[in-house]
Each structure stands twice: as structure tokens, then as C-alpha cells.
Amino acid sequence: MNIYRSILTRATRWQIVSYLLYGDESVRKETRSIDQRIQASEAAVLAFASREFSANSTRRDKLADELMEAMSVNGEAYFEMGLLAGAQLYMSLTEPRRKRRKARLKRL
């Protein structure tokens, strides 16, 4: 059996995400949607900035802008890696079928 197919039949989506991001299987179960997790993390960062820089709104706003930019770049990078990993996984899973089709077409 193809190793990728074997992994995918046993693994949940969160386990695959955890492995790709952290290198190991997470023991925690994530029940929030992707949007909820993003909003919660952004709210936590903005709350921290508001507490720590409440006296200086210019510095707080600059910090918030820089953090939001960093989170955006981070998200884009991981999205790109996910697309590439997904494409490679797809190609690995479909390679035997493509080889069989190519061999069948040569016989015609």
C-alpha cells in the first residue's frame, strides 16, 4: 500500500496540520474553526499591546501594525507550503494511476 494513503487513512486533519507545523502529533483536540482561531490569536496580541502600551497610543498602534504584518506573512508562507505539500501529495497518490494510463496508451 502507498505510504501516503496509509497515513491518510489513519490520520485526522488536525494531526497532519500539527505534524507539518510542529513536527509531532498534537495531543490536544482543536474544535474551533480556522477563522475563530485566527481571530482569537489576533485579539490576544492586540489586548497585550493595549495593556503594555496604553500610555503611548502611537507606539501601540505601530506595534499592532508590525505584529499584524508578521502574522499575515506567516499565514501566507504556511498557506503556500500547504499548497505545495498538497500538490506533492496528490502527485504521489496519483502517480501509479498515471503510469498505468501511460502504459495503456502506449499499447494502443
Whether residues 102 and 59 fall in one domain: yes
Residues 13 and 50 reside in one and the same domain: no
Q: Are 60 and 47 in contact (CB under 8 A)?
A: no
Say yes or no: 9 and 60 in one domain: no
Residue 67: domain span: 35-107
pLDDT per residue over 10-49, tens digit each? 667 667 777 777 777 666 677 888 778 888 888 888 788 7
- In a shared domain, residues 78 and 41: yes
Same domain, 51 and 102: yes
Rounded distance between C-alpha atoms, residue 67 and residue 80, angstroms: 20
Q: How many structural domains comprise the chain?
A: 2
User: pLDDT (tens digit, 9 = 90+) per residue, 63-86?
Assistant: 878 888 888 888 888 888 888 888
Q: Which residue has the higher pLDDT, 24 or 102?
A: 102
